[in-house]
Structure 1
Amino acid sequence: MWRQVVGVLAALPLGALAAETLAPAAAAPAVSSGMAGQLTQLVLGLLLVVGLIFALAWLLRRVQRIGPGNAQVIELIGSRALGPRDRLVLVQVGEEQILLGLTPGRITPLHVLKQPVEVTQTQTPTPEFAQRLMELMGKDQKDKK
């Protein structure tokens, strides 16, 4: 008799045994199987993924600040847009300052300055787009008053 039971159990796939044991437990919480339950699960999953993205971005910024710090050899002093894709960039390498012309396909050294330009670091320079956006928002706020 035992051999017959063991033979029958051995012939069954393991997934069928697991499905039979889990089927009554899975049928019990049928309340959340409706459309509202699925929508709630979708929204919570989406919020979890978006939160994870923001947390990883914050962590990446923190790790980059802890990195090498001010041990950089090349430092960007200033930049000016000449057109949609062309720029002038002033960089400092060691004690020398070099004016570079940047185009989409080329970086050209234009001039090596004999006297370095002194730049006061009292305020963090804002990018041009952010500065223009703040100006436009300031004009909009003045118009509303």
Structure 2
Amino acid sequence: MKKVLGFLAGLVLALPLSAMAAEPVATATAAAAAVPAVSSGVAGQLTQLVFGLLLVLGLIFLLAWLLRRVQQHGPAGKGQVIELIGSRALGPRDRLMLVQVGNEQILLGLSPGSITALHVLKEPVQVPSGTEKATPEFAQRLMELMGKDHKDKK
């Protein structure tokens, strides 16, 4: 997978260089032509600019898709020892989070610049199996709007 990403990165870096190499030939041809060729040169440059922009945007979306696929199937998700059980916003910048570490559940207080362990629960809170895992409200709302359900991933 690293080879594919390296190849795509090299391709992205090589495209501007190939465009610069072709530019003197295009300017020499345009200089030799008459005045009406100037307008077609501008149209050609505009077309080349739009095509290049679409190509770069397509590569960005392709790389984002590949990265998402690699992260889903990678070993990072399977060996996690810290799991987010629940989260509650207390204000615009402060929140409470309940995390599970091994067999212990810890209540954390998060504020800008600090994370404080507020309480270690003696008995873990039982979370009903029908509820979804805690996700940030924005991400959850965005997935709903995009029509993707969390249950599809399981």
1:106 and 2:130 equivalent?
A: no
Q: How many residues align?
A: 112
- Pairwise CA RMSD: 3.0
Give the unaligned 5+ runs of structure 1: 1-21, 136-145
Higher relative contact order (CA 8 A, sep 6+): 2
Aligned-partner Cα distance in 1 for 2:119–2:79: 25
Amino acid in structure 1 at the alignment position of 2:72: R
* Structure 2: runs of 5+ lacking an equivalent: 1-23, 145-154
Write out aligned runs for 1:1-145 (5 A): 27=29, 34-68=41-75, 69-122=77-130, 123=132, 125=134, 127-130=136-139
In 1, the alpha carbon distance for the partners of 2:135 and 2:85 equals 13
Which of 1 and 2 has greater Rg?
1
The letter of the residue matching 1:70 is: K
Q: TM-score, normalised by structure 2?
A: 0.61
CA change 1:55–1:133 in 2 (3 A) is closer
* Matched-pair identity in %: 77
> How high is the TM-score relative to the length of structure 1?
0.64
Q: Is the 8 A contact 2:96 2:109 kept in 1?
A: yes
